[in-house]
């Protein structure tokens, strides 16, 4: 079924809105996924604060040009779906990469993150990062470690001084 010019223009404007309002776009080859797999992926992506949808290549190319984003070489050939987010990028990448590991026909093509093009290998590495709350906790632990060492060193020194004074006072009391 052919779509009208108005529908195409509406799709291009929707794509432009999606591309301009999100800081990360992951392009995938989705052909061969079952409806259940596609719906499960969409649900996972929604949980991360993103969205996942199938796009028309020629129309999304126009949207890329209109928004001023670079077009990843060869990524807009064949069936294409995009995952987008402006929130937790590692969680989006993890959801998409996990499915690509489970289902051979599903592949990550490339990504555009804040205007920079990344290949599929870089997205796989990004997906291996821990979630944002875990990263924050690790960073906080690193920041607190020196303070904890200083406090324990000072407490140890104070204990030694107290022990010496206590021993001296016991010696004086005995004499």
Pair 83, 164 in one domain: no
Pair 39, 114 in one domain: yes
Pair 95, 167 in one domain: no
Pair 151, 119 in one domain: no
Distances (CA, A) of 55 to 18, 44, 50, 116: 11, 19, 15, 20
Pair 70, 102 in one domain: yes
What local confidence, expressed as pLDDT, does residue 174 receive?
77
Pair 140, 168 in one domain: yes
What local confidence, expressed as pLDDT, does residue 90 receive?
86
Pair 48, 109 in one domain: yes
What local confidence, expressed as pLDDT, does residue 1 receive?
58
Q: Which residues of the chain have pLDDT under 70?
A: 1, 147-151, 153-154, 157, 175
Three-state DSSP class for 132?
Answer: helix
Pair 120, 147 in one domain: no
Print the domain residue range for 69. 5-129
What local confidence, expressed as pLDDT, does residue 117 receive?
92
Pair 53, 84 in one domain: yes
Domains in the chain: how many in total? 2
Pair 15, 44 in one domain: yes
Kindly tell me the number of DSSP H helices and DSSP E strands found in the chain: 6, 5
Q: How many CB atoms lie within 10 A of CB 8?
A: 15
Pair 122, 148 in one domain: no
């Amino acid at each position: 079924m052919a779509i009208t010019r108005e529908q195409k223009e509406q799709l291009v404007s929707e794509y432009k809105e999606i591309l301009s309002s999100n800081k990360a776009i992951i392009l995938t080859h989705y052909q061969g996924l079952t409806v259940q797999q596609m719906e499960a992926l969409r649900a996972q992506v929604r949980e991360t604060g993103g969205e996942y949808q199938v796009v028309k290549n020629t129309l999304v190319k126009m949207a890329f040009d209109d928004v001023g984003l670079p077009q990843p070489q060869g990524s807009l050939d064949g069936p294409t779906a995009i995952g987008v987010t402006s929130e937790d990028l590692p969680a989006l990448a993890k959801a998409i990469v996990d499915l690509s590991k489970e289902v051979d026909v599903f592949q990550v093509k490339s990504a555009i993150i804040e205007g920079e093009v990344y290949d599929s290998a870089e997205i796989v590495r990004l997906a291996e990062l821990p979630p944002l709350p875990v990263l924050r906790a690790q960073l906080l632990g690193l920041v607190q470690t020196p303070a904890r060492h200083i406090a324990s060193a000072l407490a140890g020194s104070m204990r030694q001084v107290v022990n010496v004074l206590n021993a001296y006072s016991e010696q004086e009391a005995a004499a």
